[in-house]
Amino acid sequence: MGMMQHPTGLPMKPEQTFFKDPAIDRLLAMIMTMAAELNVTRDRLATMEMLMAEGKPVTPQALDAFEPTPEQAETLAAARQSFSDELMFCTLGIEASLGAPEDGVDQFNKE
């Protein structure tokens, strides 16, 4: 049986590993793939909204041919950067939310 090929047609290479457990690497790869797909979907949705705001028809061809104005390009770039920043923030190991104050949890334990 021949070597499997990547969807691009290139030969497959051994998997890179960054963590002791290769399952964590695969999980991270899955998350990043889903994030990339979500980013493309968000971009496409923003493009649809821009076309609609201009009163232009929204068709697959119009989306594919869309050329943003400099202002629209800046808006799209800022949204992409914000998405990337939010996605990668969790890798810093910094508390993302402050949680409830010490005495805040007790107020819900009233019987």
Look up the domain containing 83 and give its range: 22-88
> Does residue 107 fall inside a structural domain?
no
Torsion sign over Cα 72, 74, 80, 85: negative
User: What was the pLDDT predicted at 108?
Assistant: 64
> Does residue 97 fall inside a structural domain?
no
Q: Is the pLDDT of residue 97 over 60?
A: yes
Closest listed residue to residue 87, CA positions, set 43, 34, 47, 48:
34
pLDDT digits (tens, 9 = 90+) for 3-60: 577 788 888 777 777 888 989 989 998 999 999 999 999 999 999 999 999 999 999 9
Report the distance separating Cα 9 and Cα 5, nearest Å: 6
For residue 11, the SS3 value is strand
Tally of structural domains, the chain: 1
Q: Is the pLDDT of residue 99 over 80?
A: no
User: What was the pLDDT predicted at 33?
Assistant: 94
State the average pLDDT over residues 51-70.
95
